[in-house]
């Protein structure tokens, strides 16, 4: 393009995406984005476009793409219902800090506010579920705003942004500016941590007698270097490591220092160690209520170090004794340097005693379950899935419910970016479209959605997308015919009154797969499981795997809402009563 | 749980005046107000006006209340909004200068009318509109002064009040 030559808004969109290095867009057309779709057609697919079956699917696919690559996911949808359908996925990305750029069509500027056909106040609706959003009314602002959108989505704590583009702006002629010429006026997040605070943190760590690393999704978001630095720091100190649901994979599950996940369905040893520790090093996690349990009983005797890129995470739920604001990798790098230069050595004897204590907690074998010859136990199914896929190049997504927690407990993640799950929002229907996004980014890899039969029906239509684009995702359904997690709560909290948590009239998933042009498989007995999983892996097409599991199994350990970490329910303790206060919580 | 004086102290609710410098762009006020309603924070007063036409920046002055922890959260949450340049808590050890303007309409005659005028003089309220049976007073001052004035006008025929909300600035030579 010649300097100063004017191009259409639609061309500006495509050019900006290209200059931002976008390889794939997940989208769905409609009246208000037709000029952009026309441009995609004319550019002969220089940027790949994946046509989803529902805009929520586009947003989750973009999340899967982003989470598995570290790059922002891009979504293109039309005005009105296109935008509102995407809202669940956008909110999901906000809660889990996923970088995502959503382009929405809007009615022509002259019609805005007139209740025009397919008009929705998209910037109004998405204001509280985006990191930021823009309505572009002048084509000459378009390129700048688009570059700004990528900047905001990816810098600092990542998140989703929406750019709403009226149809007339897509047609209008305007000037293009490249990404290099955009400097942000007000948004300049801090990545380097304050050195004085880092020194304080190191001093505190050096005095620890019962330390623990509590790590979260921030380690993953910071990039692979952060995981490496975490591993190095853990090795140098010899401290135990636990992680939130979002942080799984940052530290290898096979490492002897790994305690397993913490929180509501975390391990006995991780939660007890959190409760009893004297120095807690929180890295890129946010003291979510699923992690802390009862706040006033949360780790009552520890000093807390909190490393986070978002200043608003500090002291939000739990007071930090030393807070370091910055990007995890940058902060850990400095911390390691200070640690080494001080030649800090934690108290060996105290640490040995702490590990001895941890060994007794581990001895409780909290994830133990009673296996069966007759029924496939869900835990067994995940264990077998792990055993048969661990040496392959595997990515796991999940839906939401018991199966998600069993996946987190029993699938042993060794590296970052391999695990995509809806943590903050807990969105049923996330896993299948997220798997599409992962598979688009990693065409040769094995991508498995560990699913529940209820969740997967929420976005089942995306199987059609998988078939269209030859995305050989594997949807491994732990089919208990129940909304198992709901049923579990009803059992524990509502006297076993199973109000609407059983799904009658489930489809025949094997036939359903075939109807979509995918492959359907089923296993009902433990003895059939391994062969069926091998067959699933071997098929180079999308697979819907109906794994019939024990319908009554519950997920333990469990900290009931409103309870302290050392008040866990274990499988072999049987049902316990839950306090009235706990009942009112979610 | 053991008695923790730090936690006890944190539970004290204080009123803070916070100045927020923002880009004067569409929707910025909605973002700020949306943040307060979504997270359940109080707004006691909120004012906004452009303060730099060349830079297109506006200043929002928010009076809010909460525990020390809540105030800290409010500031951090405001700071994280993309068009926000700066967030400054004006309520530090020293109270900031705070002014509000009010237009106050009083209707009536006779002794009450005379009394209203007399009080206006004592408060240095200006009469900006007069009819035979009404006054509009303009009064600038601290919010509490305006509250007192309004209470005094109530029995004298107060029928309408319009207040601007608080504008605030720190004392001393420092800028925002
Ligand atoms: C969109 C949405 N609606 C409702 C819920 C509440 N919910 C949480 S888990 C769950 C049941 C999930 O059932 P299923 O997918 O079969 O998984 P299971 O727990 O049986 O493994 C429900 C309804 C949710 N998380 N998301
Ligand atoms: Mg189920």
* Nearest CA residue ID for atom 8, ligand 1: A401
Contact flag B76-A319 (C-beta cutoff 8 Å) = no
* Nearest CA residue ID for atom 5, ligand 1: A428
Contact flag A186-B77 (C-beta cutoff 8 Å) = no
Contact flag B79-A123 (C-beta cutoff 8 Å) = no
- Which atom of ligand 1 is least distant from the CA of A458? 1
Q: Which CATH number fits domain B97-168: 3.40.50.720, 3.30.70.1150, 1.10.10.60, 3.40.50.300?
A: 3.30.70.1150
Tell me how far the alpha carbon of residue A387 lies from the centroid of ligand 2, in angstroms.
Answer: 23
Tell me how far the alpha carbon of residue A89 lies from the centroid of ligand 1, in angstroms.
Answer: 16
Contact flag B30-A124 (C-beta cutoff 8 Å) = yes
Q: Which residues of A touch B59 (CB under 8 A)?
A: none
- Residue B93: predicted pLDDT: 78
A127 vs B22, B31, B72: nearest CB: B31
Contact flag A312-B79 (C-beta cutoff 8 Å) = yes
pLDDT(B85) > 50 = yes
**Most B CBs within 10 Å, among A126, A131, A312, A325, to test the B interface:** A312
Ligand 1 pocket test: which of A454, A478, A506 has the largest number of ligand atoms within 8 Å of its C-beta?
A: A454
- Average pLDDT score over residue span B41-69: 96
Count of beta carbons in the 10 Å neighbourhood of residue B1: 7
Given its phi and psi angles, is residue B75 left (phi above 0), alpha (psi -120 to 50 degrees) or beta? alpha
Q: Determine what percent of chain A is predicted with pLDDT higher than 90.
A: 92
Given its phi and psi angles, is residue A495 left (phi above 0), alpha (psi -120 to 50 degrees) or beta? left
Look over chain A and give the mean of its residue pLDDT values, rounded to a whole number: 96
The ligand minimizing its distance to the Cα of A489 is 1
Distance CA A167, CA B85 (A): 32
Tell me how far the alpha carbon of residue A454 lies from the centroid of ligand 1, in angstroms.
Answer: 7
Distance CA A295, CA A293 (A): 6
Q: Which helix (H) or strand (E) holds A228?
A: helix A224-237
- Three-class secondary structure of residue B17 per DSSP: strand
> For A2-16, A280-294, A496-510, which range has the lowest pLDDT when averaged over its residues?
A2-16
Q: What pLDDT digit, counting tens, does each position of A221-253 carry? A: 999 999 999 999 999 999 999 999 999 999 999
Q: What pLDDT digit, counting tens, does each position of A306-344 carry? A: 999 999 999 999 999 999 999 999 999 999 999 999 988
Of the pLDDT bands very low, low, confident and very high (cuts 50, 70, 90), residue A573 is low
Q: Which residues of A touch B26 (CB under 8 A)?
A: 135
Cα dihedral A142/A148/A154/A160 (nearest 10): -50
Distance CA A267, CA A406 (A): 12
pLDDT(A576) > 60 = no
pLDDT(B6) > 50 = no
- Residue A586: predicted pLDDT: 75
Q: Determine what percent of chain A is predicted with pLDDT higher than 70.
A: 97
Residues of B with a Cβ under 8 Å from any A Cβ are: 1, 22-23, 26-27, 30-31, 34, 38, 69, 72-73, 76-77, 79-85
* Nearest CA residue ID for atom 13, ligand 1: A483
pLDDT(B3) > 50 = no
Of the pLDDT bands very low, low, confident and very high (cuts 50, 70, 90), residue A567 is confident
Distance CA B23, CA A221 (A): 28
> For A186-190, A276-280, A389-393, which range has the lowest pLDDT when averaged over its residues?
A186-190
* Cβ pairs bridging A and B (under 8 Å): 44
- Residue A184: predicted pLDDT: 87
Give all strands of the β-sheet with A279-283 in edge-to-edge order.
Answer: A258-261, A241-243, A211-215, A279-283, A303-308, A322-325
State which fold the B14-93 domain adopts: Alpha-Beta Plaits (3.30.70)
Strands A519-523 and A446-452: unpaired
Q: Which residues of B touch A132 (CB under 8 A)?
A: 81-83
Q: Which residues form ligand 1's pocket by a CB distance below 6 Å?
A: A 399-403, 426-428, 452-455, 478, 480, 482-486
Give the relative orientation of helices A348-362 and A268-276 as an angle to the nearest 10 degrees: 140
Domain boundaries, chain B: 14-93, 97-168
Contact flag B72-A123 (C-beta cutoff 8 Å) = no
Contact flag A319-B23 (C-beta cutoff 8 Å) = no
Contact flag A312-B84 (C-beta cutoff 8 Å) = no
Q: What residues of A act catalytically?
A: 55, 117-118, 167, 485
> For A182-186, A429-433, A470-474, which range has the lowest pLDDT when averaged over its residues?
A182-186
Q: Which residues of A touch B22 (CB under 8 A)?
A: 186
- Which atom of ligand 1 is least distant from the CA of A425? 25
pLDDT(A467) > 60 = yes
DSSP per-residue codes, B25-62: -TTHHHHHHHHHHHTT---SEEEEEEEETTTTEEEEEE
- Which atom of ligand 1 is least distant from the CA of A400? 9
- Average pLDDT score over residue span B124-141: 97
pLDDT(A582) > 90 = no
pLDDT(A559) > 80 = yes
Tell me how far the alpha carbon of residue A369 lies from the centroid of ligand 1, in angstroms.
Answer: 22
pLDDT(A168) > 70 = yes
* Residue of A405, A401, A535 lying closest to A456 (CA atoms): A401
Q: Which residues of B touch A152 (CB under 8 A)?
A: 82
- Residue B5: predicted pLDDT: 42
Beta bridge partners of A103: A76, A163
Ligand 1 pocket test: which of A377, A378, A400 has the largest number of ligand atoms within 8 Å of its C-beta?
A: A400
Q: Locate A104 and state its tokens.
A: 């929405």
CA distances from A544 to A479, A482, A487 (A): 11, 18, 24
CA distances from A411 to A218, A398, A419, A555, B41 (A): 21, 11, 10, 14, 41
> For A294-298, A479-483, B85-89, which range has the lowest pLDDT when averaged over its residues?
A294-298
Q: What pLDDT digit, counting tens, does each position of A543-552 carry? A: 999 999 999 9
The single-letter DSSP state of residue A320 is -
Min Cα separation A240/chain B (Å): 27
Tell me how far the alpha carbon of residue A264 lies from the centroid of ligand 1, in angstroms.
Answer: 16
Tell me how far the alpha carbon of residue B167 lies from the centroid of ligand 2, in angstroms.
Answer: 57
Q: What pLDDT digit, counting tens, does each position of A363-377 carry? A: 999 999 999 999 999
- Average pLDDT score over residue span B141-147: 96
Contact flag B27-A296 (C-beta cutoff 8 Å) = no
Cα dihedral A309/A314/A320/A324 (nearest 10): 20
- Average pLDDT score over residue span A134-142: 98
pTM here?
0.95
Tell me how far the alpha carbon of residue A424 lies from the centroid of ligand 1, in angstroms.
Answer: 14
Domains B14-93 and B97-168 share a fold: yes
The ligand minimizing its distance to the Cα of A429 is 1
Distance CA B135, CA A242 (A): 70
Greater model confidence, A541 or A582: A541
Of the pLDDT bands very low, low, confident and very high (cuts 50, 70, 90), residue A562 is confident
> For A55-69, A387-401, A402-416, B2-16, which range has the lowest pLDDT when averaged over its residues?
B2-16
- Residue the block writes with tokens 């009673």: A370
- Residue B2: predicted pLDDT: 37
Q: What size, in residues, is chain A? A: 586
Residues of A with a Cβ under 8 Å from any B Cβ are: 123-124, 127-128, 131-133, 135, 152, 185-187, 296-297, 300, 310-312, 314-316, 319
- Average pLDDT score over residue span B132-152: 97
Q: Locate A408 and state its tokens.
A: 């987190």
- Average pLDDT score over residue span A70-83: 98
Look over chain B and give the mean of its residue pLDDT values, rounded to a whole number: 93
pLDDT(A83) > 90 = yes
Of the pLDDT bands very low, low, confident and very high (cuts 50, 70, 90), residue B4 is very low
Min Cα separation B112/chain A (Å): 49
């Amino acid at each position: 393009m010649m300097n100063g030559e004017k191009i259409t808004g639609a061309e500006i969109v495509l050019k900006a995406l290209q200059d931002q290095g976008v390889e794939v867009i997940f989208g769905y057309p409609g009246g208000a984005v037709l000029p952009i779709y026309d441009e995609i057609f004319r550019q002969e697919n220089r940027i790949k476009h994946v046509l989803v079956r529902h805009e929520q699917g586009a947003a989750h696919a973009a999340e899967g793409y982003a989470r598995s690559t570290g790059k922002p996911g891009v979504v293109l949808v039309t005005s009105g219902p296109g935008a509102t359908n995407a809202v669940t996925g956008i909110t999901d990305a906000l809660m889990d800090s996923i970088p995502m750029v959503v382009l929405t069509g809007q009615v022509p500027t002259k019609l805005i506010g007139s209740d025009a056909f397919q008009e929705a106040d998209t910037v109004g609706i998405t204001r509280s579920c985006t990191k930021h959003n823009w309505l572009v009314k002048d084509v000459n602002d378009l390129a700048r705003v688009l570059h700004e959108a990528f900047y905001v989505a990816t810098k600092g704590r990542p998140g989703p942004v929406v750019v709403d583009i009226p149809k007339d702006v897509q047609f209008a002629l305007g000037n293009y500016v490249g990404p290099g010429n955009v400097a942000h006026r007000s948004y300049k997040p801090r990545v380097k941590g304050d050195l004085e605070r880092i020194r304080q943190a190191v001093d505190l760590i050096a005095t620890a007698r019962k330390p623990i690393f509590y790590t979260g999704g921030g380690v993953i978001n910071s990039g692979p270097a952060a995981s490496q630095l975490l591993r190095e720091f853990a090795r140098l100190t010899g401290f135990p490591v636990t992680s939130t649901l979002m942080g799984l994979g940052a530290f290898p599950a096979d490492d002897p220092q790994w305690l397993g996940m913490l929180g509501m369905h975390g391990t006995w040893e991780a939660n007890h160690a959190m409760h009893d520790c004297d120095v807690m090093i929180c890295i890129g996690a946010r003291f979510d209520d699923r992690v802390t349990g009862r706040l006033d009983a949360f780790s009552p005797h520890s000093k807390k170090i909190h490393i986070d890129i978002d200043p608003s995470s500090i002291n939000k739920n739990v007071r930090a004794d030393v807070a370091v604001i910055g990007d995890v990798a940058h902060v850990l790098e400095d911390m390691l340097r200070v640690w080494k230069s001080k030649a800090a050595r934690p108290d060996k004897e105290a640490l040995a005693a702490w590990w001895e204590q941890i060994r007794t907690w581990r001895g409780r074998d909290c994830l133990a379950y009673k296996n069966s010859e007759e029924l496939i136990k869900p835990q067994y199914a995940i264990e077998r899935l792990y055993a048969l896929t661990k040496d392959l190049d595997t990515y796991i997504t999940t839906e939401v419910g018991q199966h998600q927690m069993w996946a987190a407990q029993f699938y042993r993640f060794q590296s970052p970016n391999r695990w995509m799950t809806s943590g903050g929002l807990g969105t049923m229907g996330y896993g299948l479209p997220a798997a599409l996004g992962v598979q688009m980014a990693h065409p040769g890899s094995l991508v498995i959605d560990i699913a529940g039969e209820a969740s997967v029906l929420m976005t089942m239509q995306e199987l059609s997308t998988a078939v269209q684009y030859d995305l050989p995702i594997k949807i491994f359904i732990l089919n208990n015919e129940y909304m198992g997690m709901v049923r579990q709560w009803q059992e524990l909290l509502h006297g076993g009154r199973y109000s609407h948590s059983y799904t009658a009239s489930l489809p025949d998933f094997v036939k359903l797969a075939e109807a979509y042009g995918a492959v359907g498989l089923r296993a009902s007995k433990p003895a059939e499981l391994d062969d069926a999983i091998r067959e699933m892996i071997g098929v180079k097409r999308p697979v819907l795997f109906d794994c019939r599991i024990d319908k009554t199994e519950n997920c333990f350990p469990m900290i009931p809402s409103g309870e302290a970490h050392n008040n866990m329910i274990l499988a072999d303790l049987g049902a316990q009563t839950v306090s009235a206060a706990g009942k009112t919580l979610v | 749980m053991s008695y923790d004086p730090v936690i006890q102290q944190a539970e004290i609710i204080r009123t803070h005046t916070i100045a927020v410098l923002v880009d004067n762009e569409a929707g910025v006020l909605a973002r700020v107000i949306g943040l307060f309603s979504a997270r359940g924070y109080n707004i006691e007063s909120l004012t906004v006006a452009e303060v730099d036409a060349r830079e297109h920046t506006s200043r929002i002055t928010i009076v809010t209340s909460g525990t020390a922890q809540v105030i800290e959260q409010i500031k951090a949450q405001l700071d994280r909004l993309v068009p926000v340049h700066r967030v400054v808590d004006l309520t530090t050890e020293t109270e900031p200068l705070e002014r509000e303007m009010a237009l106050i309409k009083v209707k009536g005659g006779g002794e009450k009318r005379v009394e209203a005028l007399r009080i206006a003089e004592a408060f240095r309220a200006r009469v900006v509109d007069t009819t035979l049976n009404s006054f509009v007073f303009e009064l600038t001052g601290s919010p509490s002064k305006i509250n007192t004035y309004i209470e005094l006008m109530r029995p004298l025929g107060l029928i309408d009040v319009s207040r601007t909300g608080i504008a605030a600035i720190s004392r001393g030579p420092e800028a925002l």
